[in-house]
Amino acid sequence: MLEFLLSSDAIMALFTLTFLEIILGIDNIVFISIAANKLPEHQRNKATNIGLLFAMVQRIVLLFFVSFLISLSEPFFMYENSWLYLALSWQSIILFLGGLFLIYKSTSEIREKMETPSHDEDVVKGKKIKSLSQAIVQILLLDFIFSIDSILTAVGMTNGLSENHNYNLVLMIIAVVVSIVIMIVFANPIRKFIDTHPSIQMLGLAFLILIGFMLITEAAHLSRTSLFGNEVGAIPKGYLYFAIAFSLFIEFLNYKITKKKKG
């Protein structure tokens, strides 16, 4: 276990996944803050921290559930004709549907942020919250919605790193716990930074599109899909790491140039 966690692939996946979890958690922090701000001032910090802790617990529970489904790798349906061959398993189906969901969710989020950036916040603001228990229930529902793409991202970043699914599960749990702790400690500075640099969140959503495509190709690879005699291969995760690192480097250069112009 320790040897796997200290491997270069696991460390790279951990850093990348933690970064993405934080970026994906920004909206979660905003909505939790909106819900908490409807309470008396002395209860707001308590509601926010409880909400983030519940988010962590929910994601860990979902990770166990999704990891169990992904471990079901034995094919239960096979199809073959002159140009197509596939052997479906629950593992490949979950990865395929997860990839489609991530692509849909990220593209719709990008469109919404471009056209109606305050839509979701207005919906949350419109809900009546009169007590701490009501706020926590509302936060739990929001956490569950935001947990889905977070979990699928974790699966996409770690699936295939180790043949032992438990090792991948531990890596995902570490990333989720670290990201939630960082958000609890640095929630306000992170939110202000993202508000000042909204392109960072756009990059995070764009990365989800890449991860979605990677999940789809991995699903095709694991189901041994073959088109016209050519088997579909999985996209190496190194390509994804390079794309993320390169994009962040360009964003850093843009930040430095903009800062100099303002200075």
The pLDDT tens digits of the residues spanning 43-70 come to 777 777 777 787 788 888 888 887 787 7
pLDDT the model gives residue 126: 56
Mean per-residue pLDDT of the chain: 78
Place 238 in a pLDDT band, splitting at 50, 70 and 90.
confident
pLDDT at res. 93: 86
Predicted pLDDT at 132: 72
CA distances to 11, 70, 171, 189, 230 from 63, rounded to whole Å, are 19, 10, 11, 28, 33
Q: What is the mean pLDDT of residues 225-236?
A: 80
| pLDDT band, residue 195 (cuts 50/70/90) | low
pTM of structure: 0.72
**Residue 179: domain span:** 2-262
What does the pLDDT average to over 202-231?
84
Domain tally, the chain: 1
Q: Bridge partners of 85? A: 80, 226
- Residue 69 CB-density burial (10 A; 0-12 exposed, 13-18 middle, 19+ buried): middle
Q: What's residue 247's pLDDT?
A: 86
